[in-house]
């Protein structure tokens, strides 16, 4: 039986990987909380791998945060993510893990990359400056996996998911992503019988959203069916479908059952008009997402209602 180590299993991505691993019948799933194993500590990481000897490693542990945290704690974001990656990837190699999957994100791509963003756009022009340290760490992780593959013939896969949402999301009113923040806002407006909900900007920008459990399915699909050499240096994971913030707001209003009006505050900035991944490489390998956005939002809303702990 394949022994699987999921690093970062309490995070949104890691917990989705654990759920999907169980659904797919894997029973030997190794997890350690941050308190039990600090991935910044190379000796402890090495000891863990020496004792547990996982066959497959999913690296979903990272220091993550919103724009403010990324821009303020620039050194911490660069240093901690580099250390976590180096410790886990080096120990996986030293203790003969047969496969590893490294989680990156779409912020590794240049700020002005043509849309939809292709894997080949990596390192073609400058990055968004606010989260540059995080992106540089992630790019180093991709390059480290690639370098191990070419020098030592390892099987390390790097995946770049689009915007994720789902069970265990971050609903913080300022630090979260747009989808969970709107979900929270509409829910509170419903409870308070507010007449209106204000959405910042014109609602015209378009974004792509992928349910975290679907993303986890894609990760297992790749690990089970492909070798790193079939995949290339990195692979995008997304739906390939975008929705305007306006339509997203109306969809969330419907799922939540809010009956008031939506007001768009056009004095607020819109941001980039379109952010979307080119997922044709993944589709050619035979994978497509399962849940529609509405189904995914319903699952997420159920989780939000039933787990008061996730509401900060």
Ligand X SMILES: NC(=O)c1ccc[n+]([C@@H]2O[C@H](COP(=O)([O-])OP(=O)(O)OC[C@H]3O[C@@H](n4cnc5c(N)ncnc54)[C@H](OP(=O)(O)O)[C@@H]3O)[C@@H](O)[C@H]2O)c1
With contacts defined by CB under 6 A, name the span among 36-44, 189-197, 265-273, 287-295 that binds ligand X: 36-44
Least separation in angstroms between residue 188's CB and ligand X is 22
Q: Going by C-beta distance under 8 Å and a sequence separation of 6 or more, which residues neighbour residue 53?
A: 3, 95, 96, 97
Residue nearer to ligand X on the CB measure, 63 or 258: 63
Question: Minimal distance in Å, beta carbon 311 to ligand X?
Answer: 15
Q: CA torsion angle for 54, 57, 60, 63 (degrees, to 10)? A: 70
Interface stretch with ligand X, choices 69-77, 160-168, 222-230, 300-308 (CB under 6 A): 160-168
- Site for ligand X contains 222 (CB under 6 A): no
Query: Based on CB atoms, which residue is closest to ligand X, 189 or 278?
Result: 278
Should residue 29 be labelled a site residue for ligand X when binding is judged by CB under 6 A?
no
- Which among 5, 134, 165, 171 is annotated as catalytic? 134
C-beta of 169 vs 255, nearer to ligand X: 169
Gap between the Cα atoms of 307 and 149, Å rounded: 41
> According to CB under 6 A, which one of 40, 86, 243, 251 is a site residue for ligand X?
40
Which sign does the torsion angle of CA 270, 173, 13, 215 carry? Answer: negative
Beta-strand relationship, 206-207 and 243-244: antiparallel
H helix runs in 113-160, sequence order: 132-152
CA dist 169 and 171 (Å) reads: 6
**Is residue 98 within 8 Å of 46, Cβ to Cβ?**
no
Catalytic (active site) residue 221: no
Report the nearest approach of ligand X to the CB of residue 163 (Å): 5
- Cα separation of 176 and 198, whole Å? 17
Give the CB-nearest residue to ligand X.
11
Contacts to ligand X from residues 162-181, by CB under 6 A: 163-164
Q: Is 8 in the site for ligand X (CB under 6 A)?
A: yes
Q: Smallest gap, in angstroms, from Cβ of residue 2 to ligand X?
A: 21
State which of residues 34, 47, 290, 311 lies at the interface with ligand X (CB under 6 A): 34
Output the smallest distance, CB 10 to ligand X, in A. Answer: 4
> Which of 69, 203, 84 shows the shortest CA–CA distance to 131?
69
Shorter beta-carbon distance to ligand X: residue 194 or 241: 241
| CA 84/CA 102 separation, integer angstroms | 11
Query: What's the rounded Cα separation, in Å, for the pair 51 and 15?
Result: 23
Strand partners, 243: 207
In the region spanning residues 46 to 105, those forming contacts with ligand X, defined by CB under 6 A, are 60-64, 84, 103, 105
Closest by CA position to 236, among listed 153, 131, 125, 162? 162
Give the binding site for ligand X (CB under 6 A): 8, 10-14, 34, 38-40, 60-64, 84, 103, 105, 161, 163-164
Active site residues: 134
């Amino acid at each position: 039986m394949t022994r699987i180590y999921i690093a970062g299993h309490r995070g949104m991505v890691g917990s989705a990987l654990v759920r999907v691993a169980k659904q797919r019948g894997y029973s030997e799933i190794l997890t350690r909380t941050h308190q039990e194993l600090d991935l910044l500590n190379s000796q402890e990481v090495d000891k863990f791998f020496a004792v547990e000897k996982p066959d497959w490693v999913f690296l979903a542990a990272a220091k993550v945060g919103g724009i403010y945290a990324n821009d303020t704690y620039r050194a911490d974001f660069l240093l901690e993510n580099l250390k976590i990656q180096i410790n886990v990837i080096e120990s996986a190699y030293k203790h003969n893990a047969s496969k590893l999957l490294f989680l990156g994100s779409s912020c590794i791509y240049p700020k002005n990359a043509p849309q939809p963003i292709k894997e080949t756009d990596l390192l073609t022009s400058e990055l968004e400056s606010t989260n540059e340290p995080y992106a540089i760490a992630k790019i180093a992780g991709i390059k480290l996996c690639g370098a191990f593959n070419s020098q030592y013939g390892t099987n390390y896969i790097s995946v770049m998911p689009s915007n994720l949402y789902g069970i265990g999301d971050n609903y913080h009113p300022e630090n979260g992503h747009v989808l969970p923040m709107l979900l929270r806002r509409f829910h509170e407006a419903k409870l308070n019988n507010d007449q209106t909900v204000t959405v910042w900007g014109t609602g015209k920008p378009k974004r792509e959203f992928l349910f975290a459990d679907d993303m986890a399915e894609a990760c297992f699909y790749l690990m089970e069916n492909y070798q790193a050499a079939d995949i290339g240096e990195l692979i995008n994971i997304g739906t390939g479908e975008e929705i305007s913030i306006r339509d997203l707001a109306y969809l969330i209003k419907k799922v939540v059952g809010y009956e008031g009006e939506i007001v768009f505050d056009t004095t607020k900035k819109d941001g980039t008009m379109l952010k979307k991944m080119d997922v044709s490489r993944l589709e050619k390998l035979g994978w497509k997402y399962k849940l529609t956005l509405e189904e995914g939002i319903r699952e997420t809303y159920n989780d939000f209602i039933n787990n008061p702990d996730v509401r900060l």
